[in-house]
Amino acid sequence: MILYLLLLENGAYYTGITPDLERRLTAHAGKAPGGARCTRMKKPVALAAAWESDRARNLEGRVKRLSHADKAALAADPARLTAVHFPDEAARPLDLAPYADFFRQP
């Protein structure tokens, strides 16, 4: 599973999990049915961070409880997820380059 963090147009962060990141981002971007109500009202502007983990569901709840500042720090340095916040968890940061322009408007 993949744990991901989206930066929304209002500066907030949305945290979610999915087995298929590209499909889920397509839904959040409004290019396919689905997506969370939150991301339909406050549009995502960027994929801030993403991690692959067998325990993504557990990590999602824990990340959602972090402060905005802590989520911003995770976006700046995804390795902090396991190095600082949750050293008892195993999660591998994903390369965001393939998704760099995902939410860019034409």
In whole numbers, what is the pLDDT of the chain averaged over residues?
A: 89
pLDDT band at 104 (very low <50, low <70, confident <90, very high): confident
DSSP track, the chain: -EEEEEEETTS-EEEEEES-HHHHHHHHTTSSS---HHHHHS-EEEEEEEEE-TTHHHHHHHHHTS-HHHHHHHHH-TTHIIIII-TTS--EEPP-GGGTTTT---
List, for residues 16-68, the tens digit of each pLDDT value. 999 999 999 999 888 777 777 777 778 899 999 999 999 999 999 999 999 99
Flag whether pLDDT at 87 surpasses 70.
yes
Q: Determine the pLDDT at residue 48.
A: 96
Domains identified in the chain and CATH numbers? 2-95 (3.40.1440)
